[in-house]
Amino acid sequence: MTMTTQLLTESPPPGPGVYPGVPMREYAKWPYLNGSLLACAYLPDGTVSMKHLRAYEQGRLVKESADLLLGRAIHTRLLEPHLFATQFAVAGPCNGILKSGPSKGQTCGKPGAASLEGCWFCWQHAPAGAESPDNLLSEAEAAACEELAANIGKHKVVKLFKAHGGVEVSFVWDQPVAYTVGGAEKETTIRMKGRVDKDLPEPHGIPPTVVDLKTTHLGHHTPFWFARQLYEYCYDLKAAIYVDGLERLTGVRREFFWIVVEKTCPYDVNAVRADEETLEVGRARYNDILSRYAACQETGEWPGVNENWEWGGLPAWKRRKGKGSL
C-alpha cells in the first residue's frame, strides 16, 4: 500500500516523475512526505520525537520567520531572478509626517511596513486602509539580495554549475519502507516528493550533480561551523533522500554539493561536496524515520521523546565525583 499525507489540492497531484519549473506554491500542495518533514522528527539535540513530526504534518506547528522569508527571497533572486519582482515587495521609507520633536514637519523615514496609494508608512503612521503585502522585504534586504547574487556568481564552482541543468526541480517517487509493529516485520511503500535548487543529470565535464544553496550567518559558512549546522538541521538526511529519490527515478547516481553563502556582508561563499560517509549517515537517519512513520501510521500512536521515566540530572560535563567546586 502507499501511504500519503492527506491534504486538499486544487488539481490532482502528479505521480512519480521529475517536474522542472513547478511553482513552489503548487509543489507545497502535493500531499506527500519529503525530507524537510522527516527532519522535523529530530529535536535540536538529535532526539527523535514522532509527536513533533505529526504536529508539523498536521499544520499545528509551523516554521516561519523573517530569516525564512529572506532565505526564500535569496533563493528566488539567485535561481529565478525573473520572478523576484512579482513574488516579493520592497518597502520604501515611511512618508508619515512627524508631529513633534526636533524633526517636526519632516517625513518619518523609518522602514515602511504598509502601503496606501503607492506610499509607504511605518505602523505608527499608517493611515486607515493601508495594507502590508505578503513577502515584504526592506530596502536593505532587497539590496542584500542583489549584492549577494552578484558576489556568489563570481565563485568558480558556482560559475561551473550555472552553465548546466534546471533550477527548482521537483520530483515524486515511491520509497520502499521496512518497519516493525508488535514484533512482526512488514513492508510498505510511501510516496515521497523532493525539490532541489539545481539538478545537473547530464552535465559536460563534471559528474551528475545536485546543488543546494544554503545561507548562513556571518562566519558560519566555514567547514567547522557548517558541519555543525549540517547535522543539527538534518542537511545530511535531506541530501541522501534526494540523491536516492532521483536515482530511483532516473537510474543516474548524482553527487551532492552545498553552496554555502553568508547572508550579510561580505557574502563569502563556500562550496561543500557531500562525502559518502555523510550521505550514509543521512540515509540511515531517513530510513529510521520512515520506518517509525510507517509504524505510527498503522498503530495510530505517535510517541514523543520518552513514553516512560528515566534516571537523569546534570549533564556529564557537570558531574563530579565527591565534593568539588562549582
Listing DSSP states for 281-316 in one string gives: HHHHHHHHHHHHHHHHHHH-----S-SS-----S-G
* pLDDT at res. 6: 38
Distance of CA 175 to the CA centre of its chain: 21
Using DSSP, state whether 268 is helix, strand or coil. Answer: coil
Separation of alpha carbons 145 and 278, rounded Å: 30
Separation of alpha carbons 149 and 146, rounded Å: 5
* pLDDT at res. 325: 52
Question: Which amino acid is residue 186, in one-letter code?
Answer: K
* pLDDT at res. 55: 96
* pLDDT at res. 65: 63
Q: What is the CA radius of gyration of the chain?
A: 23
* pLDDT at res. 192: 98
What pTM, to 2 d.p., does this model score? 0.81
Nearest residue to 224 via CA among 272, 275, 152: 272
* pLDDT at res. 8: 39
And the C-alpha cell for 229?
549546522
* pLDDT at res. 3: 38
Q: Judge contact between 253 and 243, C-beta under 8 A.
A: yes
Using DSSP, state whether 199 is helix, strand or coil. Answer: strand
What does the pLDDT look like over 113-129, one tens digit per residue? 999 998 999 999 999 99
Write the secondary structure of 205-222 as one string of H (helix), E (strand) and C (coil).
CCCCEEEEEEEECCCCCC
CATH numbers and ranges of domains, the chain = 2-64+153-299 (3.90.320.10), 89-134 (no CATH)
Range 3-10, long-range pairs (CB < 8 A, 24+ positions): 3/188, 3/189, 3/190, 3/191, 3/294, 3/297, 4/31, 4/32, 4/33, 4/190, 4/191, 5/31, 5/32, 5/33, 5/37, 5/57, 6/31, 7/31
* pLDDT at res. 275: 96
Q: Judge contact between 129 and 55, C-beta under 8 A.
A: no
pLDDT-flagged residues of the chain (< 50): 1-9
And the C-alpha cell for 67?
530569516
And the C-alpha cell for 176?
520502499
Beta bridge partners of 172: 17, 193
Separation of alpha carbons 27 and 23, rounded Å: 6
* pLDDT at res. 5: 38
* pLDDT at res. 205: 74
What does the pLDDT look like over 147-196, one tens digit per residue? 888 888 888 877 766 766 678 899 999 999 999 999 999 999 999 999 99
